[in-house]
């Protein structure tokens, strides 16, 4: 996805992901076998499946398939056996990113000393990602001078996608340092961090653009709003704030997809998203396929967050 990443981060519906390309599959059978091999090699749930039996059943189900798409039901059956709703097969149409000018971008508003920054989900190409970051920078600048009591980060409709532009937009509120990591069985954790106004994956920048905003109050209190609509990379954005003593969360539990997917391009333009890791916060707490509860459940989370911020800042 991004030239600067040594192992580029691709289209994800969770949190962060490495992109790899599958060699061209000359027949539906080899296409199917290739997809099953990717699931076996990378899924953290693979021990739930009897692979020889699953492969035999998939081959029987797809016997006579004359197109790649006719193997999709067999692949979906194996994915269902893994039991992880974050692992997905996207058809070529589903995998195609929307036009850059149509994506939702961050926005902001401020009232009574509290700035509200809304972070939507993001599935986009490089042009769309740049538009997203640019809009996020503009949104921060528009309200920074009016955030004397603190910030609300609204993740209630952040349903995932590419986490790196999200974290780059949030960089001034997160502050420099380690923000979390992905833990994959048998491998060293892949650390997320913030420095120089940009999110980083290990030693690789997550975005081409840096966020130049510098807050007049560098370590403000932050209230994060969550709901069932907070999913995947939206949960990663939430986790990046976990462990900061100046942050509290309000609203409802998240969707429960705090995991990382590795995204594989298949020969016909489809994508196979395989859950390969779990999200870990800066304190070392691992998450995964469970909803993340807020610190303060609230039917009106924005009002509760505003009260908390004003009390903490002495603005009440």
The sign of the torsion formed by the CA atoms of 240, 245, 247, 252 equals positive
Q: Place 315 in a pLDDT band, splitting at 50, 70 and 90.
A: confident
Share of the chain above pLDDT 70, in %: 91
pLDDT in tens, 221-256: 999 999 999 999 999 999 999 999 999 999 999 999
Residue 22 has pLDDT above 90, yes or no: no
Residue 175 has pLDDT above 60, yes or no: yes
Share of the chain above pLDDT 90, in %: 86
Q: Place 28 in a pLDDT band, splitting at 50, 70 and 90.
A: very high
Dump strand ranges (E) for 149-270.
Answer: 150-154, 177-183, 190-195, 198-201, 204-205, 222-226, 247-251, 259-265
Q: Place 188 in a pLDDT band, splitting at 50, 70 and 90.
A: confident
Quick one: DSSP state of residue 210?
Answer: -
Contact 220, 148 (CB under 8 A): no
Tell me the pairing of strands 88-90 and 271-281: antiparallel
Q: Place 19 in a pLDDT band, splitting at 50, 70 and 90.
A: very low
Class of domain 105-258+277-313: alpha beta
pLDDT reported for residue 57: 95
pLDDT reported for residue 186: 81
Contact 81, 74 (CB under 8 A): no
Residue 165 has pLDDT above 70, yes or no: yes
pLDDT reported for residue 218: 87
Find tokens 């599958």 and name the residue: 22
139, two tokens = 């949104």
Each domain of the chain, given as residue ranges in start order, spans 105-258+277-313
pLDDT reported for residue 268: 93
The sign of the torsion formed by the CA atoms of 40, 41, 43, 47 equals positive
Instruction: Return the number of other C-beta atoms located less than 10 Å from residue 90's C-beta.
Output: 17
Residue 20 has pLDDT above 80, yes or no: no
16 vs 165, higher pLDDT: 165
pLDDT reported for residue 108: 98
pLDDT reported for residue 313: 86
**Per-position b or e across 159-181, b if 16+ CB within 10 A of its CB:** bbbbbbbbbbbbbbbbbeeebbb
Beta bridge partners of 154: 118, 225
pLDDT in tens, 296-306: 999 999 999 99
* pLDDT, average across residues 34-57: 95
Helix (H, G, I), strand (E, B) or coil at 28: helix
* pLDDT, average across residues 19-37: 75
pLDDT reported for residue 316: 62
pLDDT in tens, 74-130: 999 999 999 999 999 999 999 999 999 999 999 999 999 999 999 999 999 999 999
pLDDT in tens, 120-154: 999 999 999 999 999 999 999 999 999 999 999 99
């Amino acid at each position: 996805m991004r030239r600067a990443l040594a192992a580029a981060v691709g289209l994800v519906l969770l949190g962060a992901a490495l992109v790899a390309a599958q060699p061209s599959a000359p027949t539906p059978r080899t296409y199917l076998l290739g997809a099953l091999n990717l699931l076996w090699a990378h899924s953290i749930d693979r021990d739930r499946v009897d692979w020889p039996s699953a492969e035999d059943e998939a081959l029987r189900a797809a016997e006579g398939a004359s197109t790649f798409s006719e193997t999709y039901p067999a692949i979906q059956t194996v994915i269902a056996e893994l039991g992880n709703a974050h692992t997905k097969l996207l058809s070529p149409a589903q995998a195609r990113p929307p036009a850059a000018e149509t994506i939702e971008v961050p926005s902001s508003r401020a009232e009574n000393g509290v700035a509200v920054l809304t972070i939507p989900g993001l599935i986009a190409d490089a042009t769309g990602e740049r538009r997203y970051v640019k809009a996020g920078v503009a949104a921060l600048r528009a309200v920074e001078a009016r955030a004397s009591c603190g910030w609300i980060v609204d993740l209630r409709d952040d349903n995932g996608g590419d986490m790196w532009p999200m974290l780059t937009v949030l960089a001034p509120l997160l502050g420099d340092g380690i923000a979390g990591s992905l833990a994959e069985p048998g491998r060293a954790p892949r650390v997320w961090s913030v420095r120089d106004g940009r999110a980083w994956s290990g030693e690789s920048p997550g975005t081409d653009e840096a966020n130049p905003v510098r807050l007049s109050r560098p370590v403000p209190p932050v209230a994060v709003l969550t709901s069932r609509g907070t999913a995947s990379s939206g949960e990663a954005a939430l986790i990046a704030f976990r462990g900061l003593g100046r942050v509290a969360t309000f609203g409802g539990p998240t969707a429960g997809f705090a995991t990382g997917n590795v995204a594989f391009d298949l020969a016909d333009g489809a994508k196979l998203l395989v859950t390969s890791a779990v999200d870990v916060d800066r304190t070392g707490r691992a998450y995964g396929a469970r909803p993340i509860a807020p610190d303060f459940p609230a039917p009106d989370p924005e009002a509760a967050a505003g009260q908390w911020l004003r009390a903490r800042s002495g603005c009440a």
